[in-house]
Amino acid sequence: MSTVDGPALLAALRRQRAPMLDFLHDLTVAESPSHSDDALRIVRSVLARRLEDLGFATRAAGGQHLYARPRTRERYQETQLLIGHFDTVWPHGTLRDMPFSVDGNIVRGPGVFDMKGGLTQIVFALQALEELEFNPSLTPVVFVNADEEVGSRHSGRYIRMLARRVRRAYVLEPSLGAEGKLKTRRKGIARYTVTVHGKAAHAGLDPGGGASAILELSHQIQALFALNDHDRGISVNVGTVDGGVRPNVVAPHSQAIVDVRVATAEDAERIEAAILGLQPKTSGIRLHIEGGFGRPALEATPRNMVLLQQARELGSSIGLELDEGMAGGGSDGNTTSLYTATLDGLGPVGDGAHARHEYLDIDRTIERAALLALLIAAEHRGGEPG
C-alpha cells in the first residue's frame, strides 16, 4: 500500500471515539504533576503499555521520560519524531474539583487539552496505520517527557539528540485558538536575575552614608521595561522584586526576576546583550546579572514551511482548512526546530491550558488524529536533519 485514503482513515478513527475517550480518561485520572516522580511513573506506564500493544519497544529515558520505537524496522531506515509530554501543571487532588467529564463533544479534566489529548492522538494515529498495514517510509519514534511544564531542563539533551537524527518532528502540543491553528512560531523564553549590592546605613542618622539598592533597582527596572517592543514581539517583564532589611535602614541589597520573550534568534542576542550589559546608575552600587535563554525561538524556517504546506494539503483531503500562528509560550518544538523540520500545535482543539476551564472538543481532536496519521504516512519532502 503506497498511499493512505484520508476520508477512509478519518472514518475509521471516528469509529474509535469510545476507545479514545476511555484511553484519555485513563491518562487523565493518572494525575501527573511535574514534581511527583511516583505519579509520573504511573502515567508513563499507562502510555507505555498501549504503545507496546502496538508493537513498540519502550524504555524509560533518563529515569522518567519515555522513548518508544517499533520492535521491528527496516535496517538503516530514516526516522521521524512524535513528541509530547505527560507532566501537567495540576497538583494532586485537582480531580476532586475538575473531574474528568464528557458532555457531548466537550471533554474536561486536568491536562486533557495540555496535553494528554495529544498523547491520545499519537496512540490512535499509530494504531490506525497499523490496522491499515501501512509502513511509513520514515520510521516513527516517540519521545514523551516528564518535565516540559518546568522547562524540559532534564529532557532537553535527549530531545536535542533525537532531533539531530530525524527528518522531521511532529509536536502534539494543543492547537492555537478556536480555529485550531498550527503553531509555526513560538517566542524564545529567557529568565534573568538582577541582583543589586548596595551599602547599609541608618536612614535617619546617616542617610548619605549608604547606597540604596532599592533606589538603584528602580532605575534598572525602568531600563528593563524600556526594552519592550511589542511590534517586534519582544516582551520584558519584571515579575518579582525583593529587597531591603528594615524600613529605617538604607537597603543594602535588592533583587528582581525578569521574564523575557522574543520572536527571533536575532532579537534574543540583542536583548540578552542589553540585559547583561546593564550598568549602575548610582554610585556605590554593584550589579550582578545572571540567566539566559532556556528555550530558543521557534521560527518559520523554510523547512518548517514545507511541512506546513504538506499538512495543509493532507488536511484538505479530510476537509480541514489549516491556518497557522504564533504562540507566546514555548514548547519542545522550539528545540527540535533548531535541528530538523518541525510542526507544532498538532494536538487537540479546545481551550484552557493551565486554566480551570480546560477542555477539548473530541470530534475535532479525532480529526487531528487523522491528520497526524496522514502526516506520519507522508513522504519526506526534503530538508536535512541538523
> Could you read off the pLDDT of 317-360 as tens digits, one per residue?
999 999 999 998 899 999 999 999 999 999 999 999 999 999 99
What does the pLDDT read at residue 2?
54
Cα 209 from Cα 23, distance rounded (Å):
67
The answer as to whether 87 is a domain residue is yes
Clarify whether residues 341 and 284 are in a common domain. Answer: no
Task: Give the residue from 295, 315, 347 where a domain finishes.
Answer: 295
Residue 386: inside a domain: no
Question: What digits encode the pLDDT tens for the residues 94-149?
Answer: 999 999 999 999 999 999 999 999 999 999 999 999 999 999 999 999 999 999 99
- Domain stop point among 295, 312, 345: 295
**Whether residue 149 sits in one domain with residue 196:** no
Range of the domain at 266: 188-295
Instruction: Assess whether 125 and 244 both reside in one domain.
Output: no
pLDDT of residue 1 exceeding 50, the answer is no
Residue 152 included in any domain: yes
Does some domain include residue 385? no
Helices (runs of H) and strands (runs of E) counted in the chain: 10, 16
Residues 17 and 117 in one domain: yes
Provide mean pLDDT across the span 373-381. 95
Task: Classify residue 1: in a domain, yes or no.
Answer: no
Alpha helices in the chain (DSSP H): 6-14, 17-29, 37-53, 117-131, 156-165, 213-225, 265-276, 302-316, 333-336, 362-377
209 and 335 assigned to the same domain: no
The domain that holds 325 is classified in CATH as 3.40.630.10
C-alpha cell at 87: 507532566
Domain C-terminal end among 272, 295, 318: 295
DSSP state of 342: E
Same domain, 36 and 117: yes
Task: Domain count for the chain, please give it.
Answer: 2
Give residue 385's pLDDT.
55
Please check whether residues 357 and 373 belong to one and the same domain. yes
This prediction's pTM: 0.91
pLDDT, one tens digit per residue, over 306-326 is 999 999 999 999 999 999 999
Apex CA 221: angle with CA 215 and CA 225, to 5°?
A: 155
The three three-digit cell numbers of residue 311, written as one number: 499538512
CATH number at residue 201: 3.30.70.360
Whether residues 290 and 310 fall in one domain: no
Q: Which three cell numbers stand for residue 67?
A: 522513548
